Amino acid sequence: MKDWKKAGNIAKEALIYGKGLIKVDASVLEVVEKVEKKIFDLGGKPAFPTQISINEMAAHFTPIKDELKFKAGDVVKLDVGAHVNGAIGDNALTVDFGDNKELLKASEEALKNAIKVVQVGTQLREIGKAIDETISSHGFNPIKNLSGHSIDIYEQHSGITIPNYDDGDDYELEEGVVIAIEPFATNGVGKIEEGKDSGIYKLQGIKNVRNQMTKKILDYIEKEYKTLPFTSRWLYKKFPEFNVNFALKILERDGMLYHYKQLPEKSKGLVSQFEHTLLVNDKVEILTKQ
């Protein structure tokens, strides 16, 4: 449990640090890389590439090497994960550079109200109901095909889905489970769709590899990231870009890598997100509490 608490604290500190870096005209790439460095400086490792999803983009966006900058009017989601020996802390917040105070309030209050109903024996549908009712009360929609999740060692999504609406799931939370609750609120229709490739990958199996450079990159991925998500941006720091791109293409083609898609809101609505990681016991502990 020591590692879980340390990971939660590192994720929290890195998220707060990152929030302070997000300013109009600041480089998105620089913010992401500074946040990831902060995680290392605090004694952890990134549990996944730091994600900064702007406006209608709900999730799975991390800059690779572009010159994207924050603009006036942007709604910026910052999603940060840290791990210590595979124990993960996952948290997120939203920064508004426009006039979207109520949109942010909807998802932030939904997270607070969802946490209030969590205890051993709580049905998953009850969490979703609290989220949906809160977001709807502010005049917005929850994104129904995004959800929170349970977390295990080296598994960011370990099987249990925490819905953002009452989906009828009567599964009851068990003692000792670690979960991430992340309400997404939108002024759109409340659904995401798959967009462009994100450059974020996850190892999902090992097979024989003939090309020696590709095998070297695969061995590095397995050693450094195990089953946690990673980005091509990280590999570019270790290997030539051409070799990385070739290896990723082969490994994805052969079913060894899963490539995440960017997830924009279907109707291009603005999206806000807040998230905490919780340990469910007799007393529920927010591992990423600020």
Catalytic residue among 138, 157, 166, 167, which? Answer: 157
* H/E run at residue 148: strand 148-151
| Residue 66 is among the residues annotated as catalytic for this protein | no
Beta partners for residue 184, in sequence order: 273
Residue of 79, 108, 126, 132 with catalytic role: 79
DSSP code at position 54? E
With a CB cutoff of 8 Å and minimum separation 6, the contacts of 146 are 58, 59, 164, 182, 184, 192, 263
Q: What Å distances lie between residue 219 and 45, 154, 201, 259, CA to CA?
A: 18, 17, 15, 18
133 is catalytic: no
- Of 13, 36, 74, 90, catalytic: 90
User: Which ranges constitute the DSSP H helices of the chain?
Assistant: 2-21, 28-41, 101-117, 124-137, 212-225, 232-236, 241-253
Residues linked to residue 252 through DSSP beta bridges, in sequence order: none
Q: Of 36, 56, 109, 275, which is the active-site residue?
A: 275
Catalytic, out of 13, 56, 126, 182: 182
Catalytic residue list contains 157: yes
Whether 285 is catalytic: no
Nearest residue to 266 via CA among 153, 189, 207: 189
Residue 276 appears among annotated catalytic residues:
no
Cβ-Cβ contacts under 8 Å for 134 (sequence gap 6 or more): 106, 109, 110, 113, 114, 183
Active-site hit among 74, 108, 126, 149: 149
Which amino acids are annotated catalytic? 79, 90, 149, 157, 182, 275
